[in-house]
Amino acid sequence: MIRLDGLPIVTTEQMRAAEAQAIAAGATVDGLMARAGEAVAEQVRRLAAGAEVLVVCGPGNNGGDGYVAAAALKRAGHSVRVACFSEPRTAAAGAARARWTGAIEPLSEAMLAPVLLDAMFGVGLTRELDKGVTGSLRRLIEGARLSIAVDVPSGVSSDDGASLADLPPVDVTLALGAPKPAHVLQPAAQRCGAVRVLDIRVAVEGSVRVAAAPRLTRPVPEAHKYSRGLVAVVGGAMPGAAALTATAAARSGAGYVLLLGSATDRLPHAIVRRRFSAEALGDERVGAVVIGPGLGREDQAKGRLDAALACGRPLVIDGDALHLLDGRKVDGPMIVTPHAGEFTAMFGEIGGSKIEQAHEAARRSGAIVVFKGADTVIAAPDGRVVVQPDGPAWLSTAGTGDVLAGVIGARLAAGGDPFEAAADGAWLHAEAARLAGPAFMADDLAAHLPVAIGRCL
């Protein structure tokens, strides 16, 4: 079993293309199904630890995987039953079912089992699940001590993570070959439980990946405060927000943090405070300008944003500044960090999955887009996308976005690729939140950034 970190995320079409390539290279559909089903059975056997398994099989190839897994479990001497609600509709699933020698119970009457293996629907599900099937599945999932889904939990839309049935989460999802959007995008991701990938020897590739811990380096002996990265945070109407941003930048390893035009009095002494001036932003040593947290939207804010856009330094644009940006582009690197409301205000309604939306927004704006939320999607105009799927929901408090802007600012000022800076910043932010535990407030988050960074050295 493989963890998701860093793996390519594939759509149904990409998975089918990979499958077709494997078949062109000599594999067969039945052979792939045998591999998948047996790999599933091996994991189920370990997780079930001897308890009886009920496999519920659907009409497609996901159901086929279920019949193969059931037969493999039976061969291994494991106690296993099978239930289904309709006949197989694919040749491979039909052949797999023919090899299952035990009884098949009707789904609606299936008795509960301590372990449920959900092989009802996989990536082929395109419409809402019937009420009857949903009801039966709910009863069986709720009645099981352990529920495990084959590929994806039944009742989710694999390519965009939409929910196609009102069902409780399973405990474990065994993704076949690669993670799919449903494993990382909400609301489907919360239905998956712990996701592990099974290698079915189908080669997948793609430019959309699951976030992974960044590889950071220690400062070299020649390092000095300017070489480590100078972050200029532009303040405004709500000084607390800019203070959170500046503090987060300082705790993320920035060499020098400058807070411009902000009247806050409680700030670490290491942060240098100055009056706002366009000249300060133009300093060649400034590696990143962060503007937006607490900026306000009045004339002063507009003037400061104009100066930032004109200064020629790499930019992180957040919060209020996103509303004032008005489609303007810059020549240099620019990272925008909208939450869902800010995203719609900036780009209107873009169709498709959150991954497709973020990519389209990046393409249109020429900026790196960090589309925040429980699933944060980071997209570059060139098509690279990273999904950060597991930021703790404790992050849903005021000010945590200001902290994120500061972390990304520090990574951007450190040099290197702006897309990587944004993705690394989002990972460090989520890790700091994991380290902070429950019920923290945004002020507490920055203190955990040094440990998060230490884990990446």
Residue 276 contacts residue 296 (beta carbons within 8 Å):
no
- Examine residue 402 and tell whether it contacts ligand ADP (CB under 6 A): yes
The DSSP bridge pattern shows strands 256-260 and 272-274 to be parallel
By a kind-dependent CB cut-off of 5 to 8 A, residue 401 interacts, out of ligand NAX, ligand ADP, K ion, none, with ligand ADP
Are the CB atoms for 153 and 118 separated by under 8 Å?
yes
Pairing mode, strands 172-176 and 194-198: parallel
Query: What does 404 interact with, of ligand NAX, K ion, ligand ADP, none (CB < 5 to 8 A by kind)?
Result: ligand ADP
Q: Is residue 381 close enough to count as binding ligand ADP by CB under 6 A? A: no
Name the phi and psi angles at 297, rounded to 5.
-130, 15
Report how far residue 272's alpha carbon sits from residue 262's, in angstroms, rounded to the nearest whole number: 11
Determine the Cα–Cα distance for residues 412 and 388; give it in Å rounded to an integer: 18
Q: Which of residues 111-130 bind ligand NAX (CB under 6 A)?
A: 121-127, 129-130
Closer residue to ligand ADP in complex, CB, 393/439: 393
Q: Is 336 annotated as a binding residue?
A: no
Q: How far apart are CA 296 and CA 399, in angstroms?
A: 15
Would you say 171 is a known binding-site residue? no
Closest approach, Cβ 353 to ligand ADP, in A, equals: 17
Rounded CA gap, 401 and 364, in Å? Answer: 23
Site string for ligand NAX, 198-237 (x = CB under 6 A): --x-x-----------------------------------
Q: Is 319 in the site for ligand ADP (CB under 6 A)?
A: yes
Q: Which regions of 163-298 does DSSP assign to beta strands (E)?
A: 172-176, 194-198, 208-210, 230-234, 256-260, 272-274, 286-291
* Residue 197 main-chain phi, psi, to 5 deg: -100, 135
Tell me which of ligand NAX, ligand ADP, K ion, none is bound by residue 15, counting a contact when its beta carbon lies within the kind-specific cut-off of 5 to 8 angstroms.
Answer: ligand NAX
The strand pairing partners of 369, in sequence order, are: 336, 379
Q: Residue type at 382?
A: D
- Residue ranges in 325-364 that form contacts with ligand ADP under rule CB under 6 A: 339
Q: Is residue 86 a contact point for ligand ADP (CB under 6 A)?
A: no
Residue 376: name its binding partner from ligand ADP, ligand NAX, K ion, none (Cβ under 5 to 8 Å by kind): ligand ADP
One character per residue 44-83, x = contact with ligand NAX (rule: CB under 6 A): --------------xxxxxxxx------------------
| Residue 64 marked ligand-binding | yes
- CB nearer ligand NAX, residue 64 or residue 235: 64
Per CB under 6 A, does 320 bind ligand NAX?
no
8 binds, among K ion, ligand NAX, ligand ADP, none (CB under 5 to 8 A by kind): none
CB of 329 to ligand ADP, least distance (A): 22
Q: How far apart are CA 422 and CA 380, in angstroms?
A: 10
